[in-house]
Structure formats: structure tokens, C-alpha cells
Amino acid sequence: MHIAFLTPEYPDTATGKSGGLGTSIKNIAIALQINGVKISVIVPYQDKTEVIERNGITLFKIKKENYPIANWYFYKKKVSKTINVFIKEYQIDLIEAPDWTGITAFMKLDCPISVRLNGSDAYFCHIDGRPQKKKNFLLEKLNFKNAAGLLSASSFTAQITKKVFQIDREFTIIHNAIDDHAFLPQDKEVENQILYFGTCIRKKGVLDLAQAFNLLIEKRSQTELLFLGKDTIDYKENKSTIELIKKALTQKAIQNTRFIKEVPYQEVHDYLAAATVICLPSYAEAYPMTWLEAMSMEKALVTSDIGWAKEMMVHEQTGFMVHPSKHSDLADHLYQFLEDKNLRAQMGKNARQRVQKHFSTEVIVKQNISYYKNLLT
């Protein structure tokens, strides 16, 4: 069985930076390869077309092209032809693609396609309550039309996606996987430090975290808040999100807040290990890798309680869950963790145990193999 992942991002020195989507694909790709499945990864929009071997995984890069009109159509047709060459030459049985921006729209591939939901543009626009470009909606809808099989990283994401696109088909639910051996607990915790890591964007609840920190700093003046991640332009105010966070903070709170825009991936581990508490109060996710990473490292974790969150976290067992808009409750949960080392340790251990039982690559890879075999039968 030869499975190829078609993706706009993949974490490799040859393909550039990647976010949670690429990381989740790499985790399952490596696990499948270890379990005897032949794996390829196809990455368009690259500097050149080439084939690279990476520890048993074949990486296909496809050069980015620019057409004078309808580039989004003609480039996809070009990519489709290139992939069909790969399919024939390397005997690829199945291609898995994400839902984001309809990557397989207008493609006619010579093998079945499976689409996995990790949050489409339409999904996030629906949750955020903001309009979506009609072109993007069309591309994503066509992406589902091409699919022989449908996967979703969470039941919540599947339900919302079915509603938004009016899809009358069922999704197989297979959660994102994490290599719990790569994210091990470390005895490097510092005192009085709250960490947010990820893109600084409104939908991640960063402005709510700032408001909660204003309340917390009044009770614990020694507490420090770190934002680790790149800035974005806020869609509502057309300003830097980091500048909006600074504006939301009181004078007392901003003196204890630091912004670290980007660091190499390995250094993120160091920040995770050092944090006393990790706070990820997002409004919009599918099944976030950042949460799994924190859980695997036995960190005290405060998250939102929306939809997907209840499929990953267990309130007051693996951490605290609260709606991001409830700033007082958010501050109280952070305070509880900061004040009680034993509570942090116990919930952290519970979180890692839950990861190992339900979300480790060893568990999830078996579900993926079964799904692929059924689809190809």
C-alpha cells in the first residue's frame, strides 16, 4: 500500500516553514512508514520541482508557476498532471489531501482521493462569524466532491463542515496524532510564568488572555506572561494583533508581558518546558497540535471549552477548560495552577496519560491503516 499526502506545507529543510497542519501530516506519515506503509509527500508551490528521499519517505516538490489569468485554476491543472506522472511511476494507491482552500479542486487524479478535515477556510470563517471569499468556498466544495473518502480530526469539525457545505456524507473520525516520545516531560519549570504559543491572532483568544492577565496581575504581581508566535494583522481593526494586545493590557500588566515573535522549532520545546502554566484559549481550532504537545509534556494547561476541546481535554482532570470570553474564570484557573505545584503536577500527568492512551502515534496509526485498507478494498 502506497499512500501519498498532498499538502501546501510540510516541515522539512527543503520545503520551508510549516504550521500545525504540516506537523500533523509528518507525525502520521512517519508512523505509517514505520508500520510498513510506503509513504510519499507531495508539496506544491515550491522553488523547484524535485524528488527527495527522507528516511524512507519520498518527498515530491512541485515548482510554483504564475499564469497571467486564473492562476488558481491553471496551476492546479499543471499540478494535477505532475502528480499523475508520480502516481504512475511510483505506483501510488491513494492520495490524502487536507480541506484547506480546496487543494484538489479541478484536479483529475489517477487514483482515489481522501480528504481530511483539519479546518477549512469556510470552517474558520463560520466559527469567526466573518465572510468568506466565494472563490475559496467553491474550491473547498469541489475538494470534497473529488473525495472517495472523508476523514476528520474531530467530530465537532465534521459537524460544522457538513453544515457549512451541506454535505450529505459521513466522515470517519481519526484524531491528530503526536509522537509522545518526542514531547517528553522535562524538569525545567520556572516559577510564575504563563506561556501562550502559536500565531498571535484574534481567533486564538489572545485578546481575552490579555484581559484575564489584567485581573490576575492584581493578585499575583510577580507573574509573567509570554506570547510566543508571529504577529498578524487583525481582520476587524486592520492593525497588528500584538499592538492590540498591548493596548488591551493595563500599565501594570504590560510591564510583566513579553512578546517573542518566532524561534526555531526546537527552541519551542524549551519554552514549553520552562512555563509554569500554558494557556491556549482559542475560539477556533479543529484538533490543535499545540494542545497535544503541551499535554504530552505534562504541562499545566488552561484551554477553551469549545466543541473540539471536549474531545481532547477533560475539565479538572487534564487541565482547566473555560470559555475565552469568561475573563474572570480564566484568571481564576490560571491563579489556581500558579499557586499549587501539586495540582499542576497531577493534572499534567493525567494529560500525558490521556495522550498516550488516545492520541499517540502508536494508537492513531492503526486507525489510519484500517481506514486506508477499507477505502482501497
For the domain that residue 117 is a member of, what is the CATH number? 3.40.50.2000
Q: How far apart are CA 295 and CA 349, in angstroms?
A: 8
Model pLDDT, residue 266? 77
Model pLDDT, residue 122? 95
Report pTM: 0.90
DSSP 177: -
Domain limits for position 368:
2-177+360-376
What sign for the dihedral angle of Cα 65, 70, 76, 79?
Answer: negative
Nearest to 259 by CA among 189, 314, 217, 199: 199
259 and 129 part of one domain? no
pLDDT bin (cut points 50, 70, 90) of residue 21 is: confident
Model pLDDT, residue 358? 97
Q: What is the mean pLDDT of residues 360-368?
A: 95
Nearest to 142 by CA among 125, 159, 167: 167
144 and 15 part of one domain? yes
Nearest to 338 by CA among 275, 251, 267: 275
Is the pLDDT at 211 greater than 90, yes or no?
yes
Quote the Cα angle for 360-22-174, to 5°. Answer: 40
31 and 80 part of one domain? yes
Q: How far apart are CA 172 and CA 151, in angstroms?
A: 5
**Within 10 A of 136 (CB to CB), how many other CB atoms are there?**
18
Nearest to 309 by CA among 330, 280, 338: 280
331 and 369 part of one domain? no
Question: Cα dihedral angle (104, 109, 113, 115), rounded to 10 degrees?
Answer: 0
Q: Is residue 185 part of a domain?
A: no
46 and 155 part of one domain? yes
133 and 239 part of one domain? no
Grid cell listed for 308:
473540539
Is the pLDDT at 216 greater than 80, yes or no?
yes
Q: Is residue 184 part of a domain?
A: no
Q: Write the pLDDT tens digit of every residue in 286-301.
A: 999 999 999 999 999 9
Q: Write the pLDDT tens digit of every residue in 309-355.
A: 999 999 999 999 999 999 999 999 999 999 999 999 999 999 999 99
Nearest to 2 by CA among 32, 37, 30, 41: 37
DSSP 8: S
Is the pLDDT at 18 greater than 90, yes or no?
no
122 and 45 part of one domain? yes
127 and 91 part of one domain? yes
pLDDT bin (cut points 50, 70, 90) of residue 267 is: confident
What is the rounded average pLDDT for all residues in the chain? 95
Model pLDDT, residue 262? 79
Structurally, the chain folds into a number of domains equal to 2
Model pLDDT, residue 376? 94
Model pLDDT, residue 128? 87
Q: What is the mean pLDDT of residues 259-272?
A: 88
**Paired sense of beta strands 149-152 and 113-117, if any:** parallel
94 and 217 part of one domain? no
Q: How far apart are CA 49 and CA 290, in angstroms?
A: 31
Q: How far apart are CA 48 and CA 61, in angstroms?
A: 7
Model pLDDT, residue 19? 81
